[in-house]
Amino acid sequence: MNLLKKTVAVIFFSGLVGSAAYSQELTAVETAELGVQTLLQTVVESKDFFLSDRERYFSAIETVLSSFVDFEAVAGVVMSRYALEATDQQTERFAGILRTTLTRFYGASLVSYNGEELVFLPSSNPDADPRADTVVGMELQGDTALRLQYQMFLNENDEWKLKNLSLAGINLGRQYYTQFAALMAQHDNNIDAVLDNWK
């Protein structure tokens, strides 16, 4: 498996949590550390289904993913300025599209995870407002060490959720925004048409 693809999958899933009970009782980093065990345990328990019953495997991955990622927030990040033009129904629809796309991409990538060590890095701003959006940095150690970051925020229920991810300096939210903006230009700013043609 491509190292870049594998790395994105591992880090993206590393923030997953199985229960909202952790919420604000823990810092963003502490929540992420607990989430690693939740995700990897799910992969171990479900990996055999990747070949025999792939939908069952992806369903297990999506359940864990949905406990941590706010896909409507991800959709808002990706749509950026176009989010103001989108209806609630369109945002919800795009969130569902992203849920399916990312679950399958990262779920397939994670099947080949080989246990590389993941090290969480100290906060660059430890005195920041504890309720503000938090960027958690980490490094995947192996033949080539890669730095990653993901952006978390507290929702209205005081639960940490992920809404964006950066890998080796590449901001995935911005990258997807570029794709979204290009489709908007191609389809005369018709958001429904953009969603119909999102791949």
DSSP string of 146-186, one letter each residue: EEEEEEEEE-TTS-EEEEEEEETTEEHHHHHHHHHHHHHHH
Cα-based angle 14, 122, 127 (whole degrees, multiple of 5):
115
Q: Which domains does the chain have, with CATH numbers?
A: 3-196 (3.10.450.710)
Q: pLDDT exceeding 70 applies to what percent of the chain?
A: 84
Q: For position 120, what pLDDT does the model report? A: 83
Residue type, 85: E
Q: For position 122, what pLDDT does the model report? A: 80
Does residue 155 or residue 72 have the better pLDDT? 72
d(CA 12, CA 25) in angstroms, rounded, equals: 21
**Which of 9, 17, 31 lies closest to 136, judged by CA?**
31
pLDDT category at 14 given cuts 50, 70, 90 is: low
State pLDDT tens for residues 139-186: 877 777 778 887 889 989 888 888 998 877 888 899 999 999 999 999
Q: Which residue has the tokens 């048409």?
A: 193
Q: Which two tokens stand for residue 82?
A: 């176009």
pLDDT at 51 over 80: yes
Does residue 116 or residue 161 have the better pLDDT? 161
Q: For position 71, what pLDDT does the model report? A: 95
User: In sequence order, which ranges of the chain are alpha helices (DSSP H)?
Assistant: 3-14, 28-46, 49-52, 54-66, 71-79, 88-110, 172-186, 191-196
Q: For position 18, what pLDDT does the model report? A: 47
Longest dimension (CA), the chain: 49
Q: For position 22, what pLDDT does the model report? A: 43
d(CA 72, CA 35) in angstroms, rounded, equals: 20
Q: For position 9, what pLDDT does the model report? A: 56
Average pLDDT over residues 67-80: 94
pLDDT at 21 over 50: no
Task: Name, of 7-11, 48-52, 58-62, 192-196, the range with top average pLDDT.
Answer: 192-196
Does residue 115 or residue 161 have the better pLDDT? 161
